[in-house]
Amino acid sequence: MRRYGLRLAQAMEQLGNVCVGIDPHSSQLAAWGLDDNLQGLRTFSLTLVEAMAGQVPVVKPQSAFFERFGSRGIQVLEEVLAACREAGLLTILDVKRGDIGSTMAGYAQAYLSADSPLAADAITLSPYLGYGSLAPALELAQANGKGIYVLALTSNPEGFQVQHAQSINGKSVAADIISQAEQTNKAGSDQGHIGDVGLVVGATTGNAAKDLGIDFSVFSGSVLSPGIGAQGATPADIQNIFGKSSFRVLASTSRGISSAGPKVSSLQAAARQITEQMSDIFRN
């Protein structure tokens, strides 16, 4: 399998810089007139897969909203991931796992092994047990051509307590995490392309990166940036945060798309609108 960064770069070149979240929480199901049960979960999720195929490069299922239904919800998540593969959509499974040793290895096997029914093209991970704790996932991702997105600057109000704090290297913890992620990318192959290790940086974090002295132009991976649409961020915020590095950013939106449903054509129109808005920042 080709490296994740190469596959992502090709998909973004063809379809733009938007990632659509699949977040089947109860309020979204109700907005579509669906019951908050397995059938509603399946209908909502697979409709989004159908609508986004050929419209955006990546979708991001949020594992928590499937897990809440227990093993049967996980089975639906497996169906969704399989449908994405069939539709040619790259997947970032939003699991935000973070652990140590054999436990981290277990999570990696669940989501990054080629033969796992829960395998995605990339997953989100939390590095706040130490970046080195991610080693089992980083190693398996590299072996299987998968991607990793490491939480760096998140938009939740509590995040600054850890992410903005000074690390033992004298930089902020967030800056240190970003530096270590870039070291992993530099140690990989195919230099000059998008790295397989990316970051999660909220589109609603404002000037936090600038205030912390973070320069995204020296980071070679892609950046998953949630918050476009319902959370209040705009493509202009992407440009403000990332500047000339915006071309490597996946602007992530969930309700900004799903609120246009349940008609497939309406979902596709919403995706095209946000994709066009993102492309405008490269023309200006």
CA nearest to 122, candidates 86, 87, 97, 100: 97
Q: Which amino acid is at 253?
A: T
The catalytic site residues sit at 96
Note whether 59 and 84 are within 8 A (CB). Answer: yes
Task: Count the neighbouring beta carbons within 10 Å of the beta carbon of residue 231.
Answer: 16
Element (H, E) at 223: strand 221-226
Q: Which amino acid is at 147?
A: G
| Max CA distance (Å), the chain | 52
How far apart are alpha carbons 181 and 197 in whole angstroms?
6
Element (H, E) at 152: strand 147-153
**What's the chain's length in residues?**
284
Note whether 177 and 129 are within 8 A (CB). Answer: no
Structure tokens at 94: 């939003």
CA nearest to 49, candidates 26, 75, 78: 78
Structure tokens at 250: 């996946």
CA nearest to 203, candidates 250, 260, 267, 273: 250
